Amino acid sequence: MTDKLPVFSALAAINGTRLLQISSMLLILGVLASTSHTLARLTWTLLEPVPVIFASPKTPAPRQQAVPEASLAQNIEQLHLFGKPAPPEEPQSVSLDEVQAPETRMRLRLEGVFLSEVPEYSSAFIAEQSRPGERYTIGDRVSQGVTLAAVFADRVLLQRGEAYETLRFPDSGDSDSGIRAETPANASRSSRPSARRAAADIPADLTASQQLTENIQQMDAGSFMETYMPIMQTNPQAILDGAGLEPRGSSGESRGYTVGAQAPAALMSQLGLQQGDVIVSVNSHPVGDVQRDRQLINQIVESGVARIEIQRGQRTFVVTYPLR
């Protein structure tokens, strides 16, 4: 047993030596591997090109511009250190109905006015000297250098340059108007004898459309009323037929008179009417019943003026005519 111990000792010594050698070689291999990896990284680092980094350009600081003295003063002014000044007063426009215009000296005669709900659509019938009257709308030239500026129920305004002149209906005392001066009482009395004439004494052609139109165009208001007053009293339907006016309602209804297809074109042009217009009232009295309207004739004549309300579609306007 003791003889085998040296053998085991020798084998152990041999094995220990080999184990030490193997361990040394493994250590050397590990060092070489690590060194090789480090050398490889160093080699690739040396071979790669060095990136070029460009420095970003520096933006110069903005230069402060000198503020002109004028701009500086304007900025200070806009601060309103002493409060805002009051805005300038605009001139107030004067309405034409407030214009106090002198009476015109022109030899013109106002025969009728045509008042619309829209003042710009109003018109007037004006006669120059002995000529028959014509219808003028706002802005139309009435005479050389004279235009129609405004229309009112009792007068019109004429404009000559920058100045205005007033043209009114002829008063009963105006000898140049060709209208006989009568008081309402005298007018009523003078019409009654004519009204008592028999229908047979009245010429039938007076109510014919052509003759009726010519008389309206050529006669002044006084002459026309004196001529046709008897017919209005005794046979008003004849005048309605001659004028082409048709009652809208049945007997006893006051729904106005329609301007029918038989109305003479010249008469409609003279009076400013159109086919389909409806005469609604006269002097604020509803019309449309022939027998009842006949009783209003004297009252309308004595008033000296006829204000006829006309409906055209959705619009309503008033036409004014003097009766003396």
Domains, the chain, with CATH or none:
96-168 (2.30.30.830), 181-306 (no CATH)
More confident residue, 86 or 288: 288
Is 125's pLDDT higher than 50?
yes
DSSP 296: T
Residue written as token pair 């297809």: 261
Averaging pLDDT over each range in 175-179, 205-209, 277-281, which range is the top one? Answer: 277-281
Averaging pLDDT over each range in 30-44, 94-108, 176-190, 306-320, which range is the top one? Answer: 306-320
pLDDT number for residue 122: 85
Is 221's pLDDT higher than 90?
no
pLDDT number for residue 193: 39
**What's the average model confidence in pLDDT over 46-67?**
56
DSSP three-state, residue 286: strand
Q: What is the share, in percent, of the chain residues with pLDDT greater than 70?
A: 57
pLDDT number for residue 191: 38
Confidence of residue 195 (pLDDT cuts 50, 70, 90): very low
Q: Mean pLDDT for the chain?
A: 72
Phi-psi label, residue 109: left if phi above 0, alpha if psi -120 to 50, beta otherwise: beta
Interacting residues of 268 by C-beta distance below 8 A, sequence separation 6+: 259, 274, 275
More confident residue, 111 or 256: 256
Q: What is the pTM of this model?
A: 0.49
Q: What is the share, in percent, of the chain residues with pLDDT greater than 90?
A: 11
For residue 128, the cross-strand partners are 108
Which pair of tokens denotes residue 287? 């019309």
Beta-carbon count within 10 A of 138 CB: 19
Strands (E), 161-296: 163-168, 245-247, 257-259, 278-282, 285-286
pLDDT number for residue 50: 53
